[in-house]
Chains A and B, each alone.
Chain A
Amino acid sequence: MTKFNKTSAGFSRRDALRVLGAGGAAGLFAPHLLGKPAFAQTPPAAPTGRIVVGLSQEPTVFNPLMPHIEVDDGVNFSIFDALFRISVDGVIGPNLASEVPSQDNGGISEDGLNWRIRLRDDVTWHDGTPFTAEDVKYTLELIVNPDFRAWRTTGHDLVRDITVVSPTEITWRMEEPFAPYLSFLTETFMVPKHILEAEANPNEAAFNQAPVGTGAFKWGQRLAGDRLELVANADYFGEGPYVEELIFKYIPDMTVLYAQFKSGDIDLVGNAYITPDNYQEAKDLADRVVTVEPKGSVESIYLNQELPVFKDQAVREALYLAMDRTAIIDALYYGVPTPAETFMPPQSYYYNPDLPKQEFNLDRARQILDEAGWVPGADGIREKDGLRLSFNNSTTVGNHLREQTQQFLQQTFAEIGAEMKIENLPPAVMWGDFWGQSQFDSAMVGITYLVGGDPDVTYRFHTDAIAAKGGSGSNNAQYSNSEVDALLVEGSRTFDPEKRREIYFKVQEIIRHDLPFLPLFAYTNLYGRKAGIEGFEVNTNTRTESWHAAAWYWA
């Protein structure tokens, strides 16, 4: 550590507690393992200390309703609140609302169309103004305002007749029953009406540079390109905050991010976390806690269903059998991620554990192709009806792990007579029309399918979601299955979790059979923080590690 590194004010107190704990514990004391003595685990009475979170991308968008990326979410969760909050287990609980509406308590009508939300009455904005149902109405209406550059409008565009019954009660009507809306509302942050309605153009409001929310942390200051400083909101209605200052520091280079974690310049590693090649060293660092947690996104090979070679089920199955996933995971990713069979994250309530497991079996693959009529040509590449089993695979340039994975796959595919050509693109190019309008042959991508933990994936797999055919979703593989379509529609209209579970189990089964994409693994991330930070939990239903910074404290 450098001598200029000043950590939180509670340093000496932490030391004293440790000495006491060491004396108390009977000789068993591992710095980053088991128990701290119980009395060191209660949060402080008043916010103290400072936590610095290192990020490899810079948060730049501070209006939570405008388009933003994952790192912006970390800041949003700290400054703002949504009506509801989703727990680590996927259970939706009240946040700004005082209860979660459901068909049981009458908050949602039987036909799913009429919603009634009851709000807390003890919430104030950072500038002291009370938070009321007017703010909720304003927020929901702003999102669908055609002049406003809103991020996501799905679900919000179904809301009609928003009525403020009282400062703590609001009702509206949905155009069609849409069960995922409750999950969407766990990520729809409320913005203040009294500040934004005075702005001529909410897209360029001063608010966007100095946001005012209801959250645990208030806006401090931003040093562009360098960092963002937030300060504790002493009047926060919920749990915490327990730290005085929350700082998001921007470190663009992953190696330097890790170096600063080791040297102690940052207290917690945020997006994009610790890379797998550092795992061996990181988990043995003194004074640091490094954990492996699942993420909620899945790495897979997307197959463009409109490409003639991929229209044959046999080809897709054979390719899936020719993927040596164990070797890829162990050799390239240091054994960190876990194999996946579906788009649903394994920790979700809706995850189907009974899907057939992939096996790496080249003989079986060759057999399937032989039986389907794919005959090896003179150069070893199979052919059928004049069509060569040859396709491109694209991913983002500069990601050496993905590039190596491609080479692994290219090799094993060649052994069954399939030719995969690698054609990588820079991210800006890849994620344009090439991906969005399904212009690729096949693509290696990591995708988070769920919003707020809700299993609805209509925008990914429904026939009407094929953008390349004029649809409005993100069905980039151009997958179309009428049975899945019907199930997805039903699933989004059903509110009962158990019934939905059955529906989405079936969806996963069919998709696993059809293989529009070949799953590689479910992402796991390596989270690192300084020993001494308590209250930190990973929530795979959100996209950020800082989803509940209000609960963090120095022990």
Chain B
Amino acid sequence: MPAFLLKRFAQSIVLLVIVSIIGFVVLNLIPGGPLAQFALDPGMTEADKARLAEQLGLNRPLLVQYFDWAWRLLQGDWGISFRDGNPVLTVIGRHLFATFLLMGSSTVIAIAIGTWIGIRGATHRYSTFDYAATVGAMVALSIPTFWFGLIGIYVFSLKLGWLPAGNMYSIGDGSVLDYLHHLIMPSVVLALVHIAVWSRYMRTATLDAISQEFVKTARAKGVTERRVLMKHVVGNALLPMITLAGVQLPSILTGALVTETVFTWPGMGRLFLDSLGYSDYPVVMGLLMFSAILTIAGNLVADIVVALVDPRIRLA
């Protein structure tokens, strides 16, 4: 195990460096830059923009800029946002809670419901429920999230007035109940797509497990169907799902761009979109590294957990 961990750790570092280089180069290759937003400002001249570019250090050779950024990163200084002058970590931190709330709740809903639908679909194969679940999954996967979101706002906020039209909480309120009230629509809308994905994977994994020899043996022994299901099938079906969960872990903290925009949710996804739009290089690079670290960590954790749980797997 220790040798495995060490090897993976070394691989991760190399991977992170490669990701950062690619990200940095691509970001700087995009024409425009952080000063493009001021292009049409009345009274602002090209001379002003040239001066600002110089002051922001944007005229230095790319290699110099990269090493400067990387050296600071290693010392814990993730940089300062071009837009609001705040340290990048502070900016990310502010949006983290909102994202965690939204993504966490939608993932919990998605896993719970998706798992149940998947198992039931597998055990009652070709039943009405199974067909309905399949069609439903296809619909949820095909229709874009923003459409669901806007329809939701139209029906539940404007027409019925049951749920708020967006934001995390109402101005002047801020109680837990208020938060929950605002959380309902965005997390359900977001969960819809994940439910579809989970249920399909779960169904396949369950079918796989049910067709195994040991299930036949258990049934022959006289074990009740329910116990067969719970003890033998589900456990084994969940193994590939752990890997899937590990891969999806980063998204819990990197947010969902579209849903956050439609529901005015101040999360990480929207932060990424806004920063990209304004070419706020420090924040974009910070988010990139954050996401890369989470992805690598997520994969690593998933691999370890699967190895611990599944006796057939030996880590190299």
Contact = CB atoms under 8 A, between A and B. Distances in A.
B165 A226 contact: no
Interface string A452-491: 0000000100000101000111100000000000000000
Interface in A237-257: 247, 249-253, 255-256
B220 to A, nearest CB: 58
Contacts of A450: 42
B38 A448 contact: no
A226 B167 contact: yes
Interface stretch (A94-102, A203-211, A385-393, A503-511): A203-211
Contact of B83 (A61, A428, A448, A459): A61
Interface string B72-97: 00000000110111100001001100
B85 A433 contact: no
A8 to B, nearest CB: 9
Contact of B38 (A2, A50, A67, A250): A67
B162 to A, nearest CB: 7
Contacts of B52: 67, 149
B46 A259 contact: no
B64 interface: no
A184 interface: yes
A5 interface: yes
Nearest to A247: B171
A226 B38 CA distance: 23
Contacts of A334: none
Nearest to A153: B48
Given A69-B38, A265-B167, A428-B36, A60 B83 contact: yes
B296 interface: no
B11 interface: no
A50 B171 contact: yes
A429 interface: yes
Interface string A424-435: 001111111111
B58 to A, nearest CB: 11
B137 to A, nearest CB: 27
Contact of A2 (B47, B51, B94, B162): B162
A2 B84 contact: no
Given A204-B80, A431-B40, A433-B31, A459 B158 contact: no
Contact of A252 (B47, B80, B181, B261): B261
B262 A256 contact: yes
Nearest to B95: A225
B45 A6 contact: no
Contacts of B277: 427-428
Contacts of B32: 426-432
B309 interface: no
A451 interface: yes
Given A6-B170, A224-B95, A154 B279 contact: no
Contacts of B91: 224
B256 interface: no
B39 A6 contact: no
Nearest to A458: B45
Interface in A55-74: 58, 60-63, 67, 69
A181 B31 CA distance: 34
A263 B173 CA distance: 17
A151 B33 contact: no
A474 B33 contact: no
Interface in A1-20: 1-6
Interface in A528-549: 543
Contacts of B166: 251, 256, 260, 265
Contacts of B30: 428-429
A432 B30 CA distance: 10
Interface string B37-75: 111111111111101100110000000000000000000
Interface in B161-179: 161-168, 170-173, 178
A204 B171 CA distance: 30
Interface string A148-179: 01111110000000000000000000000000
Contacts of A227: 171
A259 B157 contact: yes
A225 B96 CA distance: 11
A57 B74 CA distance: 33
A52 B171 contact: yes
A154 B163 CA distance: 50
A249 B167 CA distance: 10
B266 interface: yes
A209 B86 contact: yes
Interface in B253-272: 261-264, 266-267, 270-271
Given A209-B86, A223-B266, A265-B165, A58 B170 contact: no
A265 B85 contact: no
A259 B84 contact: no
B153 interface: yes
B274 interface: yes
A209 B37 contact: no
A5 B165 CA distance: 10
Interface of B: 30-33, 35-49, 51-52, 55-56, 80-81, 83-86, 91, 94-95, 98, 150, 153-154, 157-158, 161-168, 170-173, 178, 181, 261-264, 266-267, 270-271, 273-274, 277-279
Given A225-B95, A428-B30, A467-B45, 15 more contacts: A2-B161, A4-B181, A149-B56, A184-B43, A224-B84, A225-B94, A225-B271, A226-B266, A249-B167, A256-B153, A260-B264, A263-B157, A429-B31, A432-B31, A451-B42
Considering the complex of A and B, which 7 residue pairs feature the smallest CB-CB distances, nearest first?
A: A225-B266, A431-B39, A428-B32, A472-B47, A467-B46, A432-B32, A431-B36
